[in-house]
Amino acid sequence: MRSSISTEAGDLVLNIDRSVGVQRWLRRLAADDRRPAAIQQATDCDPVLAKVLAGRDVTPVDAPNILNPALRTLMPDPSVLRDMDAAASLLADAVEAKATVGLFGDYDVDGASSCALMARWLRALDVTPRVHIPDRIAEGYGPNIPAIDSLAGEGIDLLITLDCGATSHEALAHAKNLDLPVLVLDHHQMRDLGPEIDALINPNRPDDTSGLGHLCAAGVTFMVLVAANRELRGRGYGADKLPDLLTLLDLVALATVADVVPLSGLNRAFVVKGLAVAQARTNRGLAALIESARLSGPLRPYHFGFVLGPRINAGGRIGDVAMGARLLMSDDPEEARLVAAELDTLNAQRQAIEVEAVESAVALVERESEMPSVIMVRDDGWHQGVVGLIAARLKERFHRPALAFTLTPEGQWTGSARSIPGVDIGQAVHGLVEAGHAVKGGGHAMAAGLTVEDTAWPAAQAALQALLEESIRSRTATRSLSIDAVLTASAASMRLIDAIESAAPYGTGFPEPVFAFASHRITYAGQVGTGHIRATLSDGQGTNLSGIAFRAAGTPLGDALLAAREGGPVHVAGTLSRNSWQGRDSVQLRIVDVANP
């Protein structure tokens, strides 16, 4: 981990070829790249921000749209999506008939947000929605026959599935046998054209050429509502009678961030505009959740992904699965306050359950004589609602795809998978199902769910290793950390934070900027909260920078920070953010790696 201060060693930053995190620090841009200067000239932006934009393949022509994404410019004609006109007609028919519509949603943030979007639109047009969110443990993911029978018994005239249904052949065939029109709104990967229903909107269906596969289900739902409003206008509805869809963008933004879809194109406009709507607190449920989470100051994508999203998910993980959707649909301030408070309590309980389960999962991995290319662990004592979180933490810690399973009452292993960039876990899970190694499964490139028979466990494990080994080897053989710029503590100013935030949102496909701080001393380091390490960096010239390494206690990164408080200077890498506390803003560094000079 030795280096020199010189940055003249090719693509290496500070000559770091092996950090504490076992990573090479690489320049995101070559030193002689001319794009930052061209971007700065085109936009008059901060020079560091110009480097950040160029490092994400933003051109000088595209830079203004990145800094100010306009929904009007980025929104395509909804009819580019396959089956869209049929879907719009189904919804318009339901509105004109004042039908009763059954909504079947997923139990995560995207499913809850999609249900709330559709329910609010229907209610604004005097259409009654009946919402069903399946119990994660008792029903599992997606439409099922008993739930469809129950909705049919309530007299629904149209069934809409949201964030699910694209692969539910048997359940939706049953709905058609009941003479129910069916509309599926989904975004999960498909291996065929899906069930034979009235309309199936999914930008990831094999015959869809829209190029909108990066949308989450709430984004798809919004597009459908745009088309439905247009259809109703064509049938004589005036603009004053149609819901203002822009007021619902807070739900689209929440789902887009929480579902970790690429923050490119239309998704950027959804998040930027949706954050502004959320800031106005027009959705009583979301406003109550913001209050229960004790958030103050401007809302950021971080709050959607790491503060509000987990609270909504907590109901689906360890409580009442319908709580998230009920909260986001509520117009009753007292109901919203009570549900938000309960979700806050459930989230704290979920965190405690997660900490204990992750500790046991890490121990299982570390007992292996050799680190597998794909981590696959199981424990019949883990709560089914946290296996996805266990997989995510294992992926973060060991930097490879991870799957965590728990045992169902039927004796099957049900689990969740999380992957690393460049390794498509969703396709691999589909491969397991097709080969007969998994009972069922599906998902995205970065996340999936599956169920495996106990007797099939060894075969499933071997098959998954074989399916992914080559792509994983290429991604993990030499790990690297892309650095946008080398800064000093004094350069990490609120002015720089303002500049960085002007290009938000950051996330999948548009990563947060990572900066290196060369030869800074750690003047303080200590553990805080549930396993975090807080540290203070000093540049030796009187400027200090507050930093935190999340979930770093007991890891090489955390140990290095604690050891550095008694030693010499170190190089530190991390992302910069705004820390708002009691009405005051300050700069905070989220530390992701450390290296010795």
User: What are 100's two structure tokens?
Assistant: 């009763």
First to last CA, the chain: 7
DSSP 3-state of 572: strand
Residues 564, 567: Cα–Cα separation, whole Å:
5
- Give me the residue label for tokens 């959804």: 270
Question: In whole angstroms, what is the distance from residue 193 CA to residue 190 CA?
Answer: 7
> 114 is written with which tokens?
């999609």
**Number of neighbours of residue 530 by Cβ within 10 angstroms:** 12
Question: Would you call 441 helix, strand, or coil by DSSP?
Answer: strand
On whether the CB atoms of residues 227 and 84 are closer than 8 A, the answer is: yes
- What residues in the chain have per-residue pLDDT under 50? 1-10
Can you read off the two tokens belonging to residue 533?
Answer: 């390490």
Q: Which residues on neighbouring strands pair with residue 483, listed in sequence order?
A: 27
In 3D space, the residue among 220, 224, 223, 242 whose CA is nearest the CA of residue 233 turns out to be 242
User: Cα–Cα distances in Å, from 55 out to 485, 533, 583?
Assistant: 10, 29, 33
Look up the pTM and report it: 0.87
Q: Quick check: 71 and 273 in contact, CB under 8 A? A: yes
Bridge partners (DSSP) listed for residue 450? 415, 441
C-alpha–C-alpha distance, residues 9 and 14, integer Å: 8
C-alpha 218/C-alpha 120 separation (Å) is 13
Please give the distance of CA 520 from its chain centroid, rounded to a whole number.
Answer: 33
Residue 5: per-residue pLDDT: 35
**CA–CA distance, 392 with 64 (Å, rounded to integer):** 35
Residue-level pLDDT at 477: 67
User: Computed from CA positions of residues 266, 269, 273, 275, in that sequence, does the dihedral angle turn out positive or negative?
Assistant: positive
Nearest CA among 312, 317, 375 for reference residue 342 = 312
Q: What is the DSSP letter of 424?
A: -
At 445 the pLDDT is 85
Domains and CATH numbers, the chain: 24-55+484-595 (2.40.50.460), 73-344 (3.90.1640.30), 368-476 (3.10.310.30)
What per-residue confidence (pLDDT) applies to 421? 84
For the stretch 96-125, what's the b/e string if a residue is b when 16 or more beta carbons lie within 10 angstroms of its beta carbon?
eeebbbbbbbbbbbbbbbbbbbbbbbbeeb
Q: What Cα–Cα distance (Å) separates residue 493 from each residue in 166, 484, 488, 587, 590?
A: 48, 16, 10, 7, 15
Q: Is 591 helix (H, G, I), strand (E, B) or coil?
A: strand
Asked if residues 560 and 594 have their Cβ atoms less than 8 Å apart, the reply is yes
> Going by DSSP bridges, is the β-strand pair 402-407/375-378 parallel, antiparallel, or unpaired?
parallel
Extract the tokens encoding 274.
């949706």
